[in-house]
Amino acid sequence: MYVATAALCACGGCHCSLMTVGEPFIALLADNSISYSSHFVDRRTIAPSDVVLVTGGIRNAEELEIASEIGRTSRKVIAVGSCAVYGGIPGAGDIPPVEVEDGSGLPALLPRLEPLDTAVPVELYVPGCPPPPNLIFEALKSVVEGYSSIRFDSTVCSDCPRRVQRGPVRRWTLHPGTGVHGADCLLSGGMMCLGPVTRGGCRASCPARGAVCAGCRGPSDAVLSSQLHSMYADMVKYVGLTCGTREDKVAREMAALLRWMYLFTRRDPVTRARIREKVVDG
């Protein structure tokens, strides 16, 4: 098989994550051929491929051209990372279009960043910023070896070792406070952890180390199948229930944190994400 990787409006973190797979990844490449790659070989011209891992969304005319070329020459495309899947952090900024002078050599900016599947049909989605190495590798392996990948439908909370404490919380913050004790749940201690509404698969790597889940894997299946398909609405419901606080009060308190909740999915808050059935587990 011909395997390829490409980076559009990406920071390189997703490719670094893939590299940390190490020997199993090298072995897979040894049994196949790299047709082109932005990171692994000095071969960057787009060529026909069986499977391409694409990181990053589409922010300018050049990236749109590359994405379209990948679409024309590849059998299967895997969107790797939340930039490619949802727009990610670069999609969160409202940067007004910048005029590019003729002859500057710079590609024209598009009005806004778009997720990869606005330009190319995508076979599999691997959200995360970056996704854990095993999830990217499993997605690649499933295509190369021809088996069906498994959709990961639980939340970050379901993998989290912390203990949920039921009871009132006065306010939520993004910063470490004094309200969290030992192995207690960060959210119960007043930190705005998005674990209850975020797709699992990362082994709760942030809350396990004392940092809140920022929602980088995007909305969980429960959010996508709920009535409002909204991380915010589901968060309000969950917190109201665990804290025993009226939902309208929680909703008011949390409205100030809306941007935080859609940091990775602002370009694709709900509806388009909802149709995505092909999200892999490792």
Does 239 bind ligand SF4 (CB under 6 A)? Our answer is no
Q: Tell whether the torsion through CA atoms of 189, 191, 192 and 196 is positive or negative.
A: negative
Q: Tell whether the torsion through CA atoms of 157, 185, 268 and 90 is positive or negative.
A: negative
Does 216 bind ligand SF4 (CB under 6 A)? Our answer is yes
Distance between CA atoms of residues 157 and 134, nearest Å: 19
Q: Identify the residue among 3, 36, 88, 197 touching ligand SF4 (CB under 6 A).
A: 88
Is 281 within 8 Å of 201 (Cβ atoms)?
yes
Does 164 bind ligand SF4 (CB under 6 A)? Our answer is yes
Does 193 bind ligand SF4 (CB under 6 A)? Our answer is yes
Distance between CA atoms of residues 150 and 243, nearest Å: 34
Does 250 bind ligand SF4 (CB under 6 A)? Our answer is no
**Closer Cβ to ligand SF4, 46 or 194, answer by number:** 194
Q: Identify the residue among 213, 224, 231, 250 touching ligand SF4 (CB under 6 A).
A: 213
Q: Identify the residue among 3, 14, 79, 233 touching ligand SF4 (CB under 6 A).
A: 14
Range in contact with ligand SF4 (rule: CB under 6 A) among 10-18, 19-27, 142-150, 255-263: 10-18
Distance between CA atoms of residues 84 and 15, nearest Å: 12
The beta strands (E) that lie in the chain are given as: 2-7, 33-37, 49-55, 58-60, 74-80, 109-114, 124-126
Is 277 within 8 Å of 255 (Cβ atoms)?
no
Distance between CA atoms of residues 74 and 2, nearest Å: 9
Q: Identify the residue among 18, 70, 169, 204 touching ligand SF4 (CB under 6 A).
A: 204
**Closer Cβ to ligand SF4, 123 or 133, answer by number:** 133
What is the binding site for ligand SF4 (CB under 6 A)?
Answer: 10-11, 13-14, 55-56, 81-83, 88-89, 128-130, 156-157, 160, 162, 164, 185-187, 193, 195-196, 198, 202, 204-207, 213-217
